[in-house]
Structure 1
Amino acid sequence: MRSRLLPAVLAAVAAAVLAGGCSGDDWSEPHAEPSAVGTLGAGFSDPAAPPAPEATITPRPRSWDGVRPSEGYRVVLLTAGKDAQTRTLAGAVTEWAESEHVRLRTLTATSPDQYVQRISEAIGLAPDLVITAGNDLVDPLALVTPSHLDQQFLVVGAELAEPTANVTAADWTGASFRGEGLGMSSAYDPATFTPERAARAVRAGVAAVLNGLTGIVIWLD
């Protein structure tokens, strides 16, 4: 009986490892440089006048729909917070990754003493992009990201007050938390964190990063 059960147990363990994004998906091997598949639609930005660093652009709705990442794109989803807004954002990233066959790993910070540590762990995985969800990560990101300019970040549902060129944000009225002691915006509204809006933020933000439009805020209102 034991010999018959062993293969089934091993198969179950292997499936669990793969589902958890651990050693079953080896990121230590080199992979092709990521690129955009498809092109941005008219109205995403002005090709003749690229946005300046820290600028805010308001793309035409759905102008990002034709862009997806190339095969093998590696993303780390970094989350902090158990609030409904963070869960909605994280769910949007996960659904996008599944639909686009993105190689996704998730890291969660459960207490303030883990924020910088988890950001460092995400960088250590050398993904093509780190996507963050949760206001609690904004100030730690402002601390860490200027020292890692070769790593691209996308902040969804929030933004850094003074982002470096490697930090892009996808934001909207009702979600404009900026950290650095500025406090919560008077326009902050948890009800604006809908699955549909979160999905748009992820896709528009990734499309911008894939096209080299980084260090800016993508405004989705």
Structure 2
Amino acid sequence: MRSRLPALGALAAIAVLLGGCGSADDWSQPHPAAGPVGALGPGFVTTSPTPEATITPAPGSWDGVHPPPGYRVVLLSTGDDPQTKTLVTAVTSWAGQEDVSLKTVTPADPGRFTASISQAMALRPDLVISAGQDLVDALALVTANHLDQQFLVVGAELAEPTANVTAANWPGASFRGEGLGTSSQDDPASFTPERATAAVRAGVASVVNGLTGIVIRLG
């Protein structure tokens, strides 16, 4: 009879760091949902956005919003390019400042990208934050079948996101995957620490306020 246990090589293809920033929560206990701390400022949205809409919030209109205590986040990332490193640094810095409980999943093999998303979801976080353009196609395949899990894509976007996938990016960071990917405006130099930090904070502020399935385009 064929074993249902995954091969050792498959397990090794995905690195999971169970430690992280913020609270000492080991995620072993049930985690009740909680609302945001603070409120969105004027100009974040003017009307309730439609699915797949793109909004351009006023700068800083997300500054008053913080995740609830004990918020659980998985950072899903791949790539050692400067853009991805900038995004990863922004997420980890934000998690430390906000006392977020953070775990990371880092697939080492492109053939395991979809499995890495399943690995992230299996941890049952409040939010999966994806950093790295190479994950976009895998996310497009997986996320529509798991509408109960919220995702935030920073520095890129999905071409047709479902209601559980929110993106936060800016001109120069609008990669959308195979066949739609690198636009004429793609600019690696636009991935500054300031833009990456704003994307993380604006994206999380939107998600915790229930404004999901949209693209948040920053200036």
Match of 2:53 among 40, 52, 55: 55
Hey, what does 1:159 align to over in structure 2? 157
Moved >4 Å (runs of 4+): 17-21
Is 2:198 aligned against 1:195?
Answer: no
- Give the Cα–Cα distance (whole angstroms) in 2 for the partners of residues 68 and 134 of structure 1: 24
Q: Per-residue CA shift, 1:108-157, capped at 9, x if unaligned?
A: 11221121111000010110000000000000000000010000000000
Is 2:18 aligned against 1:28?
Answer: no
Match of 2:178 among 180, 183, 186: 180
User: How far is 1:20 from its partner?
Assistant: 5.6
Hey, what does 1:149 align to over in structure 2? 147
Whether the 8 Å contact between 1:133 and 1:155 is mirrored in structure 2 is yes
User: How far is 1:99 from its partner?
Assistant: 0.1
The aligned length equals: 201
TM-score (norm 2): 0.89
Whether the 8 Å contact between 2:164 and 2:212 is mirrored in structure 1 is yes
Hey, what does 1:117 align to over in structure 2? 115
Hey, what does 1:41 align to over in structure 2? 41
Structure holding more helix per residue? 1
What code does the residue aligned with 2:27 have? Answer: W
What code does the residue aligned with 1:94 have? Answer: T
Whether the 8 Å contact between 2:18 and 2:104 is mirrored in structure 1 is no
Query: Can you give the 5+ residue segments of structure 2 that lack an aligned partner in the other structure?
Result: 1-16
Larger Rg computed on CA atoms:
1
Whether the 8 Å contact between 2:18 and 2:103 is mirrored in structure 1 is no
Match of 2:210 among 207, 212, 215: 212
Secondary structure of the 1:36 match is: coil
- Give the Cα–Cα distance (whole angstroms) in 1 for the partners of residues 20 and 49 of structure 2: 38
What code does the residue aligned with 1:213 have? Answer: L
- Give the Cα–Cα distance (whole angstroms) in 2 for the partners of residues 28 and 182 of structure 1: 40
- Give the Cα–Cα distance (whole angstroms) in 2 for the partners of residues 149 and 174 of structure 1: 29
Q: Per-residue CA shift, 1:45-102, capped at 9, x if unaligned?
A: 02xx300000000000000000001100000000011100000000000000000000
Whether the 8 Å contact between 1:161 and 1:180 is mirrored in structure 2 is no
- Give the Cα–Cα distance (whole angstroms) in 1 for the partners of residues 60 and 212 of structure 2: 19
What code does the residue aligned with 2:206 have? Answer: A
- Give the Cα–Cα distance (whole angstroms) in 2 for the partners of residues 162 and 126 of structure 1: 24
RMSD across aligned positions (CA): 1.4
Percent of matched pairs sharing the same residue: 67
- Give the Cα–Cα distance (whole angstroms) in 1 for the partners of residues 181 and 148 of structure 2: 29
Hey, what does 1:107 align to over in structure 2? 105
Query: Can you give the 5+ residue segments of structure 1 that lack an aligned partner in the other structure?
Result: 1-16
User: How far is 1:31 from its partner?
Assistant: 2.1
What code does the residue aligned with 1:35 have? Answer: G
TM-score (norm 1): 0.88
Secondary structure of the 1:54 match is: coil
User: How far is 1:25 from its partner?
Assistant: 4.3
